[in-house]
Amino acid sequence: MTDLVGVTLGRYQILARLGRGGMADVYKAFQPSLDRYVAIKVLHASMVDDAEFVGRFQREAKNVARLRHPNIIQVFDYDHQGDIYYMVMEYLDGPTLRAALEEVHRRREEMPLGVALRVVADIGSALAYAHENGVVHRDVKPANVMLDRSGRVILTDFGVAKILTGTKVTVTGTVLGTPAYMSPEQGRGEPGDARSDIYSLGVVLFELATGRLPYDADTPLAVLLKHVHDPLPLPRDVNPSLPEAVERVILRALAKDPADRYPTVQAMLDDIAAIPPATVPASRPGELTTRMMAERAPHSPASAPAAAGAAARPATATSTARRASSIWLGGGAVLTAVICLGLAAAGAFVLFLTGDDLIRLVSAAPTATRTFEPPPTHAPTRPPAAPTPIPTGGAEDNEPGQVLFHDDFSDPASGWDRVNTDEGATDYADGKYRIFVDRPQYDYWANPGMSFGDVRIEVDATKVGGPDDNDFGLLCRYQDTRNFYAFLVGSDGYFAILKYVDGDSESLGTDGMAPTDAVFLGAATNHLRVDCIGQTLSLYVNGELVHRVVDGEYTSGDVGLIAGTFDEPGVDIHFDDFVIYEP
């Protein structure tokens, strides 16, 4: 899509592109007549010829525009200029709740229970109002909740909403939503109703009250299966200080059978309001509030909407051998300052699973019979005093196990970040996934939003343009924007395995980037393979094992793609055939 920065759409002057989604781009704009900033969502040109998409886009604008509630994003306008179809929304200067939670976890803090209940009550108030007006959200999650600078909680992204009295827009055999927050009936491919939103809100309450999600697994499908079949971990087993009254609310909201849940969101809110105040710790001076969360969480306009971008943000880092003093890191998990309806969520994989065979697979999976117990946590273990290099021995041709995930990037809606900023861009291009970095000493990365333990990852990486003084590769056991493993090569023939802990980098087993003959130099395609198995981390380049170390800092996490610059900007890397295997 042509960048519209500098263009005037109707009464709105386009100032900057904020993010890209599978259906639309979102821009920051200025409306001179009312002297205000707005966010404008512009339908992709490739979809304008599809009457169904245009109609769905227009329905989304009309449906949300008639919702007037302090906790719901406001839509001001809908129009088209030639073949450019757009809606105009409230511009919010603040982070998503997901970004705020990541900052809480990074600081090793806990959200006060009173704040958690207030956040859920505000989201619930928005949902109750929407349901009364015939709108079901169907994708309630922290990435679709914003906090403005005043601490106001705002529910956003009704892009997958279904009008109860209107036309059904989701075809049979399609699962639409985010697995970590998806109700069992949605996991079985059913359209869901208001009680599905209650379930998702219950997941949010579980997460805020305990500090973790109820279900964790290595793949999105496995998470769906757990929502459908596994008993719910008891919240008080995860957080023993949680009042029984709060646990009862969570248990009822997360009942497998919709008939066993609260009949309405308002009934759930009534039970929350009835929790004895004496059981909820009183707030103390200086204690965390939503306003504090909004002020300190990343919400730079250069950041990306939830999982829709790879804008950079600073992190203190130890320089490697070929880097100048420090590097700047950016990632798809960094979250945005502004609301962008219709964009995928960060750290949460937006799943579009089609086909009745998959629905039958979810429905037919055996129901677990274990007793209630929380799934294992993934707290990182401390590493050995010094990582131990293991001598390489040339090629290793052992066959991989089952394919857990495969993306050939032929589908631009497969869920990876799509962002264009002054520092660079991430997007789909010619059937590949592109990371372009146009600023010195910068790294960009993107994550699909999954979680794995032991895996083998492979990808083809082609240097299309820019200097050979670069690095690109794969991420493994990604915890957040400051904690992960990076497996890097450069098109000038160097490699490294880096560990990031709280933003500081350390080369494992080498003194910075080290030379290797395995890398194809210059504008070439290199086949990269990474094995993260137990504490053993291995990097293969074009079939040759070039480095292996032992490190136990992280045991599981997300995966990803990364590319970066050293002293010269302009590196352009295209990735293809990204595959995750069982080892």
pLDDT in tens, 178-205: 788 999 998 887 878 899 999 999 999 9
pLDDT in tens, 543-579: 999 999 999 999 999 999 999 998 888 999 999 999 9
Calpha distance 435→564 (Å, rounded)? 9
The pLDDT of residue 149? 81
Q: Is the pLDDT of residue 512 over 60?
A: yes
Which CATH number do you get for residue 25? Answer: 3.30.200.20
The domain boundary, picked from 27, 58, 90, lies at 90
State pTM to two decimals.
0.55
Which residues share a beta bridge with 106?
A: none
Q: Is the pLDDT of residue 388 over 70?
A: no
Same-domain status, 491 and 523: yes
The pLDDT of residue 125? 96
Same-domain status, 452 and 422: yes
Calpha distance 183→364 (Å, rounded)? 16
Amino acid at residue number 304: A
- Structural domain includes residue 368: no
Same-domain status, 76 and 118: no
Mean pLDDT for the chain overall? 79
- Structural domain includes residue 299: no
Same-domain status, 323 and 274: no
Calpha distance 249→264 (Å, rounded)? 13
- Structural domain includes residue 369: no
The pLDDT of residue 583? 87
- Whether the CB-CB separation of 484 and 500 falls below 8 Å is answered with yes
Same-domain status, 450 and 559: yes
- Residues with catalytic roles: 139
Same-domain status, 62 and 125: no
The pLDDT of residue 500? 92
- Whether the CB-CB separation of 513 and 494 falls below 8 Å is answered with yes
The pLDDT of residue 336? 28
Total count of domains within the chain = 3
Q: What's the pLDDT band for 375 if we cut at 50, 70, 90?
A: very low
The domain boundary, picked from 264, 279, 294, lies at 279
Which CATH number do you get for residue 529? Answer: 2.60.120.560
Calpha distance 224→179 (Å, rounded)? 6
Same-domain status, 385 and 522: yes
- Whether the CB-CB separation of 206 and 215 falls below 8 Å is answered with no
Calpha distance 423→444 (Å, rounded)? 9
Query: Helices 194-210 and 244-253 sit at what angle, rounded to 10 degrees?
Result: 140
Q: Which residues contact 97 (CB under 8 A, 6 or more apart)?
A: 119, 142, 143, 145, 146, 147, 153
Same-domain status, 328 and 458: yes
Residue numbers of the domain that contains 577:
312-334+378-581
Over residues 535-550, mean pLDDT: 95
The pLDDT of residue 325? 28
Q: What's the pLDDT band for 268 if we cut at 50, 70, 90?
A: very high
Q: Is the pLDDT of residue 525 over 80?
A: yes
Which CATH number do you get for residue 170? Answer: 1.10.510.10
Q: Which residues contact 486 (CB under 8 A, 6 or more apart)?
A: 473, 474, 475, 496, 497, 498, 500, 505, 562
The domain boundary, picked from 60, 90, 120, lies at 90
The pLDDT of residue 38? 94
Hey, which of 168-177, 380-389, 410-419 has the most confident mean pLDDT? 410-419
The pLDDT of residue 347? 33
SS (H, E, C) 300-353: CCCCCCCCCCCCEEECCCCCCCCCCCCCEEECCCCCCCCCCCCCCCCCCCCEEE
State the residue for tokens 């709105």.
12
- Whether the CB-CB separation of 91 and 154 falls below 8 Å is answered with no
- In this structure, of 159-168, 233-242, 307-316, 514-523, the range with the lowest mean pLDDT score is 307-316
Calpha distance 27→314 (Å, rounded)? 24
Q: Is the pLDDT of residue 498 over 70?
A: yes
- Structural domain includes residue 532: yes
227: left (phi over 0), alpha (psi -120 to 50) or beta: alpha
Phi, psi of 226 (to 5 degrees): -65, -40
Q: Is the pLDDT of residue 237 over 90?
A: yes
The pLDDT of residue 363? 54
Same-domain status, 151 and 248: yes
- Structural domain includes residue 73: yes
Q: What's the pLDDT band for 49 if we cut at 50, 70, 90?
A: confident
Percent pLDDT > 70 in the chain is 78
Same-domain status, 86 and 102: no
Hey, which of 25-29, 344-348, 352-356 has the most confident mean pLDDT? 25-29
- Structural domain includes residue 296: no
Same-domain status, 448 and 575: yes
Radius of gyration of the chain (CA): 23
- Structural domain includes residue 388: yes
pLDDT in tens, 319-334: 333 333 223 333 333 3
Q: Which residues contact 550 (CB under 8 A, 6 or more apart)?
A: 384, 387, 388, 390, 535, 536, 537
The pLDDT of residue 216? 86
- In this structure, of 143-152, 372-381, 400-409, 566-575, the range with the lowest mean pLDDT score is 372-381
State the residue for tokens 């997360």.
254
The pLDDT of residue 219? 74
Same-domain status, 275 and 157: yes
- Whether the CB-CB separation of 128 and 266 falls below 8 Å is answered with yes
Over residues 169-183, mean pLDDT: 59
- Structural domain includes residue 212: yes
